[in-house]
Structure 1
Amino acid sequence: MSVRSVQKEATRRRVLEAARELFETEGYEETTVRAIAKRAGVSVGSVFTSFQSKLDILSEVMGERLDELYEELDRVGHQLRGSTADRLRSLFALFFAFETRRKRLFLAHIAATYDWRPGAKATPFGHNERLKQVVRDCLARGVAAGDVDPAIDPELIVDTLLAAYAWTYRLAAWADADADTMSHAMDRQIGLIAAGFTPRPQASGLI
């Protein structure tokens, strides 16, 4: 890499680290690009050399953050035991435990991904294929084990689970709920959803 490229990357890293800290301590809406530049020790112009907008910065911060989450899932995901409902409960508990380490940052991310205005640049919530695949894999394991009805559309189950997952974050936004509180609420919702995908016993015919 050229000296200029090295300097640009160093500036980009300082901006991301400064933004991560400010989004968490001050909140996304309250944080300005000028404040990020000041914390990073660079000019506002330097920020816009690497990023198009504050939302672009948030997207990159969260992209790196979520990479850490998936690395953690790769380490422990294969160790999950029990029924499909139990494994889903464990899976989402891992999500909440990881995400609430920087709760305000994750709430800002959810708010941005629900911004459906024309021109919005954040990836809409529910379009994260890596997250959806983790849930699909759990359901596929359940089909193989016989406790998930293979006739039920797995994408419908995934969408329903992710809708419940996102809605559970209202507890963090409204009541500053911790990971255990949100996991408990999600556990109950998973129980209801699992009642819909669990195979029903076949009625025996009368002879």
Structure 2
Amino acid sequence: MPAPVKTARKKVVRQSREARVRDILNAAREVFEARGYEKATVAEIASRVGIVEGTVFSYFASKRVLVLKVMEQFYHQITLQIEEGIQGVNGTRERFYFVIWNHLNIMTQNRALCGVILNESRGIDHELSQQVRLLNRRYTEVVTQITQDGIASGELRPDVSVTLVRNTLFGTLEHYLWSMYQDSKDTETATLDIHQTSQQITRLIFGGISNNNQNLPDKSVKGEVSELIKKLNRLL
């Protein structure tokens, strides 16, 4: 009598915790970008990973925790990028330009996620908006440092308000982001010339706080400021 044939058991390969978390976060970012925070569901995130909804909750306690982790990853990436990149830039004006250009570039390449972040920073979920502000604080700290260094080197006026410079710079950039979030087909932002816009914003800010602004061509500066104000008004 022939010996019974043994059927080989299929070996189940379990993902490591790190790999599972990575897959969930990647899927979560896709869903948040496509649906926004309010309309996104953990069920859809789980479906994209190929797991049940309960498994997601075994790694992340809530949808809020999940979106915050996605934002943390993004902020960590862009903060390192700007902190490392600024090291190779000399001169206060050139450093302002780098920050502005880099930020506009990030906004353009990550339009959907930036829209989610901006929306939640202005949203009714107070706790979530507070967390977004905390994430934003370290990222914007680079402008504080540039301004302080510029004052110390004598390139900027000693009476310059560091906080006002930071708020003016990122407030201006936020208007561009808000327009892109509200209407991705907007012609003003769809055809945004990052280099030209960065130059204009740099001249607007640096020209107003420079210790040597008497050497700048008045007509050129006034013309660029006027043009930038017109653009901002169209975005408001």
**TM superposition score category, shorter chain reference:** 0.7 to 0.9
Answer with 97-106 or 155-164: which moved more. 97-106
Q: Percent identity?
A: 23
Distance 2:106 2:213 in 1: 38
2:63 to 54, 62, 73: 54
Q: Does 1:194 align with 2:203?
A: no
2:93 to 85, 88, 93: 85
> Which structure has more RCO (C-alpha within 8 Å, separation ≥ 6)?
1
Q: Could you tell me which residue of structure 1 aligns to residue 112 of structure 2? A: 104
Q: Could you tell me which residue of structure 2 aligns to residue 154 of structure 1? A: 162
Q: Could you tell me which residue of structure 2 aligns to residue 181 of structure 1? A: 193
Q: Does 1:67 align with 2:76?
A: yes
Shift in Å at residue 12 of structure 1? Answer: 2.5
**Is the CA contact 1:33–1:54 (under 8 Å) kept in the aligned structure 2?**
yes
Partner secondary structure for residue 103 of structure 2: helix
**Is the CA contact 1:149–1:197 (under 8 Å) kept in the aligned structure 2?**
yes
Distance 2:95 2:206 in 1: 11
CA 57–89 in structure 1, closer or farther in 2 if over 3 Å, else same: same
Any gaps of 5 or more consecutive residues in structure 1?
Answer: 1-5, 203-207
1:145 to 153, 164, 167: 153
Q: Does 1:39 align with 2:48?
A: yes
CA RMSD, Structure 1 to Structure 2 (Å): 2.9
Partner secondary structure for residue 169 of structure 1: helix
Larger Rg: 2
Distance 1:69 1:149 in 2: 29
Distance 2:106 2:173 in 1: 14
Calculate the TM-score normalised by the size of structure 1.
Answer: 0.77
Any gaps of 5 or more consecutive residues in structure 2?
Answer: 1-14, 215-236
Distance 1:27 1:52 in 2: 20
Shift in Å at residue 144 of structure 1? Answer: 2.7
Q: Could you tell me which residue of structure 2 aligns to residue 205 of structure 1? A: none
Q: Could you tell me which residue of structure 2 aligns to residue 3 of structure 1? A: none
More helix by share: 2
**Is the CA contact 1:148–1:197 (under 8 Å) kept in the aligned structure 2?**
yes
Calculate the TM-score normalised by the size of structure 2.
Answer: 0.69
Shift in Å at residue 125 of structure 1? Answer: 3.8
Q: Which amino acid aligns with 2:207?
A: A
Distance 1:22 1:123 in 2: 20
Shift in Å at residue 93 of structure 1? Answer: 1.0
Shift in Å at residue 167 of structure 1? Answer: 1.6
1:115 to 109, 116, 123: 123
Matches within 5 A, 1:18-33: 18-24=27-33, 26-29=34-37, 30-33=39-42
Distance 1:132 1:7 in 2: 35
CA 22–124 in structure 1, closer or farther in 2 if over 3 Å, else same: closer
CA 48–85 in structure 1, closer or farther in 2 if over 3 Å, else same: same
Q: Which amino acid aligns with 1:148?
A: L
